[in-house]
Chains A and B, each alone.
Chain A
Amino acid sequence: MLPLVQLKGVTHAYLGDREATLAIEELNLTVDKGEFVSLVGPSGCGKTTLLSIISGLLQPSRGDVYVGGHPVLEPSAEIGYMLQQDYLFPWRTILDNAVLGLELTGNLNEETRRRTLGLLKELGLEGKENAYPSELSGGMRQRVALVRTLATGPKLLLLDEPFSALDYQIKLQLEDLVAETLLRRGTTAILVTHDLAEAIAVSSRVILLQPNPGRIRRIFTVPEAIRSTPPLYARDLPGFAELFHTVWKEMELAGRGD
Chain B
Amino acid sequence: MKSVEQIELAVSRKLWLDQKHEEYRAAKLRWKSRVMAVRAGLLVLLFVLWETAARAGWIDTLLFSSPGRVFRQIWSDLSGGSLWPHLSVTVGETVIGFLLGTLLGTLLAVVIWWSPFLSAVLDPYMVVFNSMPKVALGPIFIVMFGAGFTAIVITTLSITVIITTLVVYNSFNSVDPNLVKVVRSFGASRVQVFGKVILPSSFPAIVSTLKVNVGMSWVGVIVGEFLVAKSGLGYLIIYGFQVFNFTLVMSSLLIIAAVATAMYQLVVYVEKLILSRR
Residues of chain A at the chain B interface (Cβ within 8 Å):
55-57, 74-77, 79-81, 83, 85, 87, 89-91, 100-101, 103-105, 132, 134, 148, 152
Contact = CB atoms under 8 A, between A and B. Distances in A.
A55 B179 CA distance: 16
A100 B187 CA distance: 11
Contacts of A57: 181, 184-185
Interface string B89-131: 0000000000000000000000000000000000000000000
A91 B200 contact: yes
Interface of B: 176, 178-179, 181-188, 192, 196-197, 200-201, 203, 277-278
B201 A101 contact: no
B178 A104 contact: no
6 contacts: A77-B187, A80-B185, A81-B182, A87-B179, A105-B187, A132-B278
Contact of A90 (B183, B185, B192, B278): B278
A34 to B, nearest CB: 21
Contact of A87 (B178, B188, B278): B178
B186 A105 contact: yes
Contact of A83 (B181, B187, B200): B181
A104 B278 contact: no
Given A55-B185, A76-B186, 12 more contacts: A57-B181, A75-B185, A75-B186, A77-B186, A81-B185, A83-B181, A83-B182, A87-B178, A89-B179, A89-B201, A90-B278, A91-B203
A105 B188 CA distance: 7
Nearest to A78: B187
Contacts of B187: 56, 74-77, 104-105
Chain B facing A: main interface SS = helix
B201 A104 contact: no
Nearest to A52: B181
Contacts of A74: 187
B201 A91 contact: yes
**Which 4 A/B pairs are nearest by Cβ-Cβ distance?**
A81-B185, A76-B187, A101-B186, A104-B186
A75 B187 CA distance: 5
A74 B187 CA distance: 7
B33 to A, nearest CB: 31
Contacts of A75: 184-188
B277 A132 contact: yes
A79 B184 CA distance: 11
Contacts of A148: 182
A5 to B, nearest CB: 16
A91 to B, nearest CB: 5
A75 B117 CA distance: 24
A232 to B, nearest CB: 28
Given A91-B200, A104-B192, A132-B277, A85 B186 contact: no
A89 B277 contact: no
Contact of B200 (A77, A89, A134, A152): A89
B200 A100 contact: no
Contact of B186 (A83, A87, A100, A134): A100
B201 A152 contact: no
A119 B125 CA distance: 52
Nearest to B185: A81
